[in-house]
Amino acid sequence: MEMENHSPSNSNTLKIGLVVLLGALGLLGYLYYGSQNENADLQKLLTGKVDELSTTKVKLDSISQSLDAKIAEVTALGGSVEELEKIKAQLEQDKKRLKADANFSAKKYEGKIAEYEAFLTQKDEEILKLKEENGLLNSQNLTLQTEKEQVLSQNKSLSYAKDSLNSKVSEVSSQNEDLRKKVNVGSALKAVNVQVVGLTGRGKEKDGELKNRKVDQLKISYILPSNPLTERNNKDVYLRVMDPNGAVLNDMSRGGVLNFANQEIGYSLKQNVAYTNDDQKVDMFYKKEAAFKSGKYAIELYSEGFKIGTGSFLVK
């Protein structure tokens, strides 16, 4: 195929500059819109995590104070506090781990909390026997009243602690630099290693620079990296194939229009992908309806309102 030679002109230069400027503005708009959505998702995730962390800390602090009370009571009754102090030391270690646990999960602490509560119940029975042995059952009502006042005081103190944690959440949400570092945790679906090869009518692959007369259809391959926050379900992935002039190859029998950044844009092909969250490879096949023009073609992939990947290929 012979290429026509055109002499450069000021008009063409202005057009090219305008296209580049519009493209840059569009990219800035997309980055701003994506950042706002990712920040909102991350804020929601952080708020949920802080609530779980606060609840777990409140429970561990309550158990710690109950252990202190029982150590004091058993000491006053003349009993052994060795086991109580051993459990208290173990609890303090768990509280330190909770503060430094970057991968905090409430479920990981539920079993430990249940064991501590069962231990406290067992100690209540042993303390009751000590009281019977020391003839102190007559003072039980006074002790219960004292414990009630302690619990009320503890609840007030723990409430202040929770308010302090909630305040820290507000501080985190205002620190944009920290949010940008953590935004990958809540990022949308991504397509990486986008590659394009041509297939002949017999299915033989032709990579590198493609020759139009030898290519029957395109094979677009890409990887969907795993993401712990991305739900495993079916994803609609939209393919845009754009010719050297920027026009989208849009056969309406296979393509259509999608909404992106509050604008309708054409696409060449839609494919439903069962996302398995395990770095899966995906292949899409686009059969050409007409001869490809010579030049560089662009590939864009979209899903769930985001541009997830790009690629390109050359045609002689």
Q: Break the chain into its structural domains and give their ranges.
A: 43-182, 188-315
Distances (CA, A) of 169 to 157, 179, 270: 19, 12, 40
Instruction: Tell which residue, 198, 201, 220, has the closest CA to residue 209.
Output: 198
Tell me the residue length of the chain.
Answer: 316
Does domain 188-315 bear CATH number 3.40.50.10490?
no
Q: What is the pLDDT of residue 268?
A: 93
Distances (CA, A) of 278 to 182, 228, 231: 21, 10, 12
Q: What is the pLDDT of residue 262?
A: 92
- The helix/strand/coil state of 261 is coil
Which residue is listed with tokens 């290519």? Answer: 215
Q: What is the pLDDT of residue 161?
A: 73
Give the number of C-alpha atoms closer than 13 A to the C-alpha of residue 164, restricted to the C-beta side: 8
Query: Is residue 226 a contact partner of residue 185, using CB atoms and an 8 Å limit?
Result: no
DSSP 8-class letter at 4? P
Q: What is the pLDDT of residue 138?
A: 53
C-alpha–C-alpha distance, residues 28 and 239, integer Å = 22
Which residue is listed with tokens 């012979």? Answer: 2
C-alpha–C-alpha distance, residues 152 and 142, integer Å = 16
- The helix/strand/coil state of 150 is helix
Q: Which residues of the chain have pLDDT under 50?
A: 1-3, 184-185
Q: What is the pLDDT of residue 248?
A: 94
- Which two tokens mark 239? 């393919």
Strands 269-274, 256-260: pairing kind: unpaired
- The helix/strand/coil state of 51 is helix
Q: What is the pLDDT of residue 103?
A: 66
Amino acid at 218: L
C-alpha–C-alpha distance, residues 162 and 177, integer Å = 25
- The helix/strand/coil state of 272 is strand
- Which two tokens mark 224? 């969907």
- Which two tokens mark 59? 């429970």
Q: What is the pLDDT of residue 5?
A: 52
- The helix/strand/coil state of 19 is helix
Global pTM?
Answer: 0.44
- Which two tokens mark 132? 């019977």
Q: What is the pLDDT of residue 43?
A: 62
Q: What is the pLDDT of residue 2?
A: 46
